[in-house]
Structure formats: structure tokens, C-alpha cells
């Protein structure tokens, strides 16, 4: 299933971090809506953690109320579905932090360097 493979480098050190389908290729194949928006945000900040609050803001900033009370669970659900899809293209969405009340972030990385 890995078409249009591309090598990726760490934005911080420039070192090789893995190979996967191009983010453009994956983005074009995602269902339109929240999953695509989340993926594109993570892809813009490739391999760097994106705080959950930024993802919530991306999805619900156009709402006067800032989004539903369940916004955090909506993001969790969308990420669960998105993870299953992107893995087939050589990507993993890794959760960073979030234990014991800490801030939770997510990062998009090639599968071969994932957990």
C-alpha cells in the first residue's frame, strides 16, 4: 500500500527519521473533515509535538462557545480513526505526555521510527 514513498528528516537535527508515503499522498486519501484537518496540522509540524489544545482549537475555533464540552473526546475519537488509516501509509501518530494531569501532545512520525 505504500505508494509514493519519501524519506523524511528531523526538522531539528536534519537526521534521517524514516520513510513513508508522502504527506500529500496520504492527505488526498483521507475522508474530508476533521481527520484531514488534524492530519494536515500534524504534517505541517512533522515529528514535533502538537498540543491537544491546538487541535481542539483547530476543530472548534469557529464556534462561539469554543466547541462542545466533549471536545477532548471528539479529538481522541478522530485520532483513533486516523491512526488506523495512516498506519497503512507508513505513518504513526504518537501520543506524547499527558500523564498525571500533564499536557498531552501528538506527533506524526514515520512508522519505522515509531513506538
Q: Using the predicted structure, report yes or no on whether residue 97 has a pLDDT greater than 80.
A: yes
d(CA 36, CA 28): 9
CATH number at residue 53: 1.10.10
Per-residue confidence band for 74, with pLDDT thresholds at 50, 70 and 90: very high
In which residue are the cell numbers 498525571 written? 100
> What pTM value is reported for the model?
0.84
Per-residue confidence band for 54, with pLDDT thresholds at 50, 70 and 90: very high
Per-residue confidence band for 113, with pLDDT thresholds at 50, 70 and 90: low
- For residue 52, the surrounding DSSP H or E stretch is helix 52-60
Q: Using the predicted structure, report yes or no on whether residue 83 has a pLDDT greater than 60.
A: yes
Q: What percent of the chain has pLDDT over 70?
A: 91
d(CA 40, CA 62): 18
Q: Using the predicted structure, report yes or no on whether residue 1 has a pLDDT greater than 60.
A: no
Range of the domain at 30: 5-113
**Higher pLDDT among residues 104 and 114, named by residue:** 104
Q: By C-alpha distance, which of 28, 18, 14, 19 is closest to 85? A: 28
Tell me the H-state helices in the chain: 23-29, 34-44, 52-60, 71-87
State the total domains in the chain: 1
Amino acid at each position: 500500500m505504500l505508494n509514493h514513498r519519501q524519506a523524511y528528516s528531523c526538522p531539528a537535527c536534519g537526521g534521517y527519521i524514516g520513510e513513508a508515503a508522502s504527506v500529500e499522498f496520504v492527505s488526498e486519501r483521507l475522508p474530508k473533515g476533521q481527520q484531514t484537518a488534524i492530519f494536515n496540522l500534524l504534517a505541517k509540524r512533522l515529528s514535533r509535538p502538537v498540543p491537544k489544545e491546538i487541535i481542539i482549537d483547530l476543530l472548534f475555533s469557529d464556534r462561539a462557545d469554543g466547541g462542545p464540552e466533549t471536545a477532548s473526546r471528539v479529538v481522541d475519537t478522530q485520532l483513533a480513526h486516523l491512526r488506523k488509516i495512516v498506519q497503512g501509509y507508513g505513518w504513526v501518530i504518537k501520543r506524547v505526555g499527558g500523564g498525571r494531569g500533564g499536557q498531552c501532545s501528538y506527533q506524526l512520525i514515520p512508522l519505522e521510527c515509531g513506538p
